[in-house]
């Protein structure tokens, strides 16, 4: 071996490449290892640390992919690159290839949100708008596919760049999912866990199509206008109450309030009525002084008999093709007020030949409002 061979051998050992990437940032996803003219010497050392994957690209084509470990680069561990380069019997000279290091650790607590309100059609409240926001976590599951389909030739691809794409994808798929769920509007905020799981399942294939795995997806809040919240709370309370008991309770409270108002007309009327009854009872006792008040017969008190209690009309109404009821007039009015039924709802009561729309039943037209009295006689 000549002196020049010795020098060549010594230099080749002294200048063997070490290819590695020390990530000092928290948001870099892909980093391209820069070499002069992308030349890599035969026998170079490749060091891939935990949480990284090294990807070799040859003239825009995906070649070899290396998981964490230390490698000596030769034809034995570069089978795809060797085929692309046409190395049949090994190689000794430097070769050209682009080396990309991909960060494969979990990126957590990424924010997402709906840029614009989502319009939904609710059976009771009509068209309503909601907004939502939350967090998600992802990681690169197929580094080669991710570089070819997303990164391209970007030498330093960051989390911010991919997040803009992912947030748009999430917002679109979230809108589609809640629209197809067809839940009552109040249940979207009450079932965020189930809705989160469904959204993650729907979005996962699209993430994987570009080499990304959606690891976690959370809906933290679903918001709606304050006016709609108040309507929902009112509807919820009415739906849980026994309307007949509520009517009786309010009537009793009104009588109690009127009796307490001694200066008012209602209180004066009640006081006069009680005075008449007591006077009659006292007169009966004077006619028969040997009888106590409790022993006075009712006939001698001359108290007028009350009229018979009116029979309350009961109504039936159609709800989703099913007969529902019976309910009283007040209950039916409350159902109309909270939009459970409308003017086109079919109703029936005893004495009617057939079911009729609410708007066509005379005594129920008052629900619709805008009624005007007939003209006075002689006008």
Summarised one tens digit per residue, pLDDT across range 152-178 is 878 888 888 888 889 888 988 888 888
pTM of the model: 0.54
Question: Domain segments of the chain: what residues?
Answer: 3-103, 107-225, 315-368
Predicted confidence band at 30 (pLDDT cuts at 50, 70, 90)? very high
pLDDT higher than 70, residue 4: no
Which pLDDT band holds residue 244 (cuts at 50, 70, 90)?
low
How confident is the model at residue 13, as a pLDDT? 44
pLDDT at 9 over 80: no
CATH superfamily label, 107-225: Band 7 domain (3.30.479.30)
Question: When comparing pLDDT for 26 and 372, which is higher?
Answer: 26
Q: What's residue 68's pLDDT? A: 93
In terms of Cβ atoms closer than 10 Å to its own Cβ (0-12, 13-18, 19+), residue 15 is: exposed
Q: Which of 20-29, 204-213, 281-290 has the lowest mean pLDDT?
A: 281-290
Predicted pLDDT of residue 303: 63
């Amino acid at each position: 071996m000549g002196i020049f061979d010795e020098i060549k051998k010594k230099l080749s050992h002294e200048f063997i490449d070490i290819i590695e990437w020390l990530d000092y940032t928290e948001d870099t996803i892909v980093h391209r290892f820069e070499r002069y003219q992308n030349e890599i010497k035969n026998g170079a050392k490749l060091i891939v640390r935990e949480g990284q994957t090294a990807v070799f690209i040859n003239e825009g084509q995906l070649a070899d992919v290396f998981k964490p470990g230390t490698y000596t680069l030769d034809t034995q561990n570069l089978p795809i690159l060797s085929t692309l380069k046409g190395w049949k019997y090994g190689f000794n000279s430097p070769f050209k290839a682009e080396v990309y290091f991909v960060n494969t650790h979990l990126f957590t607590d990424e924010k997402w949100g709906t840029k614009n309100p989502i319009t939904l059609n609710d059976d009771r409240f009509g068209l309503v708008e909601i907004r939502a926001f939350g967090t998600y976590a992802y990681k690169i599951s197929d580094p080669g596919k991710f570089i070819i389909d997303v990164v391209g030739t970007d030498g330093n691809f960051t989390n911010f760049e991919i997040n803009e794409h992912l947030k748009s994808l999430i917002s679109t798929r979230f809108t589609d999912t809640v629209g197809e769920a067809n839940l009552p509007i109040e249940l979207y905020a009450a079932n965020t866990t189930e809705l989160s799981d469904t959204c993650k399942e729907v979005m996962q294939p699209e993430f994987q199509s570009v080499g990304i795995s959606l690891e976690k997806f959370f809906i933290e809040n679903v918001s709606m206008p304050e006016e709609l919240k108040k309507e929902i709370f009112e509807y919820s309370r009415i739906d849980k109450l026994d309307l007949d008991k509520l009517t009786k309770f309010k009537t009793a409270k009104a009588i109690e309030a009127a009796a307490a108002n001694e200066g008012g007309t209602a209180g004066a009327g009640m006081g006069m009525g009680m005075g008449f009854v007591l006077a009659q009872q006292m007169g009966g006792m004077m006619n028969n002084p040997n009888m106590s008040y409790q022993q006075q017969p009712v006939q001698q008190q001359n108290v007028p008999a009350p009229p018979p209690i009116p029979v309350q009309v009961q109504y039936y109404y159609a709800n989703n093709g099913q007969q529902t009821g019976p309910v009283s007039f007040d209950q039916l009015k409350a159902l109309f007020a909270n939009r459970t039924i409308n003017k086109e709802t079919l109703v029936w009561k005893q004495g009617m030949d057939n079911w009729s729309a609410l708007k066509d039943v005379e005594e129920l037209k008052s629900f619709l409002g805008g009624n005007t009295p007939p003209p006075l006689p002689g006008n």
